[in-house]
């Protein structure tokens, strides 16, 4: 089944490109706004500096020449489009209208002192320079700030053009970066969709930043795990189908023999016993399959109660002692004299002990020992089933609780069960909050399965 997201959901590439473009645009706008203020301020400052220098130069020339009439000298300044006005010792004010207006707007104290001033005339900013002369005359220079603004606009246009070009290049770079970032993610998503469609040989070539590459590696690991799991499931189903066919074939064969009258007389009871035994085997296999399936369900419950494991072991020992006696196996029990209390599900825990004891008895020959032991260690209750069977190798112990692993290894070599018993035991112990391990039983010579439960 193909799993897809909502059709309206934006792609990572578009979102990343849009976000980076927005950030760059905001940065350019802010830079442009700051540039406007800086350029205008710088232009006005340069205009003020130029006007001051011109005023100082003219004043120095007039002081050096000390002409009787300064009008001809100032006419040169007026020809340079710099409004200038002057007031003679007699108080008569002459010159350009802008400079005269600026002079009259100044306070009396500022008219007689050298200085730089800024006025607003007709709503426009005007730069003013006042220079008194030693002859008693005063020269006033004026210039509209808008002239400096015009110069600043030309410079500002160049700055804004550079910012726009930078914005376009940054947006293009954002799109390219977003595509490069999203490419391995698109490849990973495509691989995931193929996996969802049933392909298991899909692999991703990890690329991009570390986090994106790790996502690809995780998808590869998931694909390998799914492939291994499904292979194990196929092998398990094949083994289960084989195990189902064997008892069904036996039951069917003997039933047909009885029906056709081929089996008669003294052979009938033996045929009946075979049918019963194979039916019991078939029932046990189906029960194990159902329990394993139920353990994976959300509604599977463990009904925990306060439980004295000493009494629990005594009850189990009565059953398994008798079964071992019939098989000629030497059964023994080890338990402390005092109570060992835990909080657990007695039915499921008995299922665990029966499963381990069944597995041990199956591989233990007559005359060999089988031990059911109970003790405490580090505040935990410990249940052990030890046998004198052929034992397990280190490789066997590593996969002892995997479904059908030991069954596949030892089918036809030694007596085996359904291949599900130990897997079921492991799942039950995990559900009870305990742990189960397997090791060699040194004293008995076979295998020791140890279950540890928290003490109550």
Q: What torsion, rounded to 10 degrees, do the Cα atoms 336, 339, 342, 345 define?
A: 90
Q: Give the residue extent of every domain in the chain.
A: 222-295, 305-454
The residue with greater pLDDT, 140 or 70, is 140
pLDDT surpassing 90 at residue 407: no
pLDDT in tens, 236-250: 666 566 556 656 777
pLDDT surpassing 50 at residue 84: yes
Average pLDDT over residues 179-187: 75
Would you say 443 and 424 are in contact if contact means Cβ atoms under 8 Å apart?
no
Count the residues in the chain: 456
Contacts of 203 (CB under 8 A, 6+ apart): 191, 220, 223
Average pLDDT over residues 58-83: 71
CA pair distance 212, 218, nearest whole angstrom: 10
Distances 272 to 230, 247, 268, 386 between C-alpha atoms, Å: 39, 13, 6, 34
- Select from 371, 359, 331 the least CA-distant residue to 416: 359
Would you say 39 and 152 are in contact if contact means Cβ atoms under 8 Å apart?
yes
Residue 391: which region, alpha, beta or left (left: phi > 0; alpha: psi -120 to 50)?
A: left
pLDDT class of 176 with cuts at 50, 70, 90: confident
Of 3.90.1300.10, 3.20.20.10, 3.40.50.1980, 3.30.565.10, which CATH number belongs to 305-454?
Answer: 3.30.565.10
pLDDT of 436 reads: 94
Domain 222-295 has CATH 2.60.40.1930: no
Q: In DSSP terms, which residues pair with 119 in a beta bridge?
A: 126
Q: What residue ranges in 179-315 does DSSP mark as E strands?
A: 305-308
Contacts of 259 (CB under 8 A, 6+ apart): none
CA pair distance 275, 281, nearest whole angstrom: 10
CA pair distance 25, 171, nearest whole angstrom: 8
Q: pTM here?
A: 0.47
pLDDT class of 7 with cuts at 50, 70, 90: very low
pLDDT in tens, 225-283: 887 777 767 766 665 665 566 567 777 888 888 888 888 888 888 888 888 877 876 77
pLDDT in tens, 351-396: 899 889 988 998 899 999 999 999 998 889 999 999 999 988 898 8
- Select from 267, 289, 287 the least CA-distant residue to 279: 287
pLDDT of 437 reads: 94
Helix axes 12-65, 145-196, angle to 10 degrees: 170
Q: In DSSP terms, which residues pair with 455 in a beta bridge?
A: 342
pLDDT of 450 reads: 95
Structure token digits, residue 279: 């039916």
What are the counts of helices (DSSP H) followed by strands (DSSP E) for the chain?
12, 12
DSSP string, 381-444: EEEEEEE-SS---HHHHHTTTSTTHHHHHHBTTB----S-HHHHHHHHHHHTT-EEEEEE-TTT
Would you say 435 and 442 are in contact if contact means Cβ atoms under 8 Å apart?
no
pLDDT of 262 reads: 82
Contacts of 3 (CB under 8 A, 6+ apart): 193, 196
Judge whether 222-295 and 305-454 match in fold.
Answer: no
pLDDT class of 2 with cuts at 50, 70, 90: very low
pLDDT of 371 reads: 96
pLDDT surpassing 50 at residue 115: yes
Q: How far is the first Cα of the chain from the last one, in angstroms, to the nearest whole number?
A: 48
Q: Where are the alpha helices (DSSP H) in 66-144?
A: 71-79, 97-105, 108-111
pLDDT class of 6 with cuts at 50, 70, 90: very low
pLDDT of 295 reads: 63
Give percent of the chain above pLDDT 70: 81
CA pair distance 119, 83, nearest whole angstrom: 14
Question: What average pLDDT is seen over the chain?
Answer: 80
- Long-range (24+ apart) CB contacts under 8 A made by 248-253 are 248/278, 248/282, 250/274, 250/275, 250/278, 251/275, 251/278, 251/279, 251/282
pLDDT in tens, 291-350: 666 665 555 677 889 999 999 999 999 989 998 999 999 999 999 988 899 999 988 898
Structure token digits, residue 265: 């007389």
- Select from 243, 179, 165, 169 the least CA-distant residue to 208: 179
């Amino acid at each position: 089944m193909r799993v897809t997201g909502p059709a309206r959901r934006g792609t990572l590439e578009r979102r990343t490109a849009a976000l980076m473009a927005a950030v760059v645009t905001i940065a350019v706008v802010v830079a442009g706004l700051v540039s406007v203020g800086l350029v205008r301020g710088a232009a006005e400052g340069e205009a003020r500096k130029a006007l001051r220098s011109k005023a100082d130069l003219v004043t120095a020339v007039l002081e050096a020449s000390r002409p009787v009439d300064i009008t001809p000298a100032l006419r040169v300044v007026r020809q340079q489009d710099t409004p200038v006005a002057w007031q003679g010792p007699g108080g008569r004010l002459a010159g350009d209208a802008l400079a005269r207006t600026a002079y009259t707007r100044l306070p009396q104290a500022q008219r007689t002192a050298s200085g730089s001033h800024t006025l607003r005339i007709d709503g426009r900013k005007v730069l003013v320079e006042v220079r008194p002369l030693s002859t008693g005359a005063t020269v006033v220079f004026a210039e509209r700030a808008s002239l400096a603004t015009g110069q600043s606009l030309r410079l500002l246009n160049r700055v804004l053009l550079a910012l726009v070009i930078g914005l376009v290049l940054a947006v293009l770079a954002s799109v390219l970066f977003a595509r490069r970032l999203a490419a391995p993610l698109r490849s990973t998503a495509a691989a995931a969709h193929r996996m969802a469609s049933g392909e298991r040989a899909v692999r991703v070539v990890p690329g991009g930043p570390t986090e994106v590459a790790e996502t690809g590696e995780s998808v590869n690991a998931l694909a390998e795990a799914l492939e291994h799991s499904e292979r194990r499931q196929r092998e398990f189903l094949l083994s289960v189908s084989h195990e189902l066919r064997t008892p069904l074939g036996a039951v069917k064969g003997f039933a047909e023999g009885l029906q056709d009258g081929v089996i008669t007389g003294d052979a009938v009871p033996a045929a009946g016993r075979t049918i019963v035994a194979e039916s019991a085997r078939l029932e046990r296999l189906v029960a194990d399959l159902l329990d394993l399936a139920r353990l994976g369900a959300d509604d599977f419950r463990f009904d925990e109660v306060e439980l004295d494991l000493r009494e629990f072991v005594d009850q189990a020992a009565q059953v398994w002692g008798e079964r071992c006696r019939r098989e000629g196996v030497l059964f023994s029990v080890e338990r402390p004299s005092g109570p060992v209390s835990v909080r657990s599900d007695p039915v499921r825990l008995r299922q665990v002990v029966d499963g381990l004891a069944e597995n041990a008895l199956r591989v233990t020959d007559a005359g060999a020992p089988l031990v059911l032991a109970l003790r405490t260690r580090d505040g935990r209750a410990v249940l052990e089933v030890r046998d004198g069977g052929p034992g397990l190798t280190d490789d066997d112990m590593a996969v002892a609780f995997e479904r059908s692993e030991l069954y596949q290894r030892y089918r036809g070599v030694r007596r085996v069960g359904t291949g599900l018993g130990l897997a079921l035991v492991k799942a039950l112990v995990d559900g009870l909050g305990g742990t189960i391990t397997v090791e060699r039983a040194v004293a008995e010579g076979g295998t020791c399965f140890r279950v540890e439960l928290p003490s109550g």
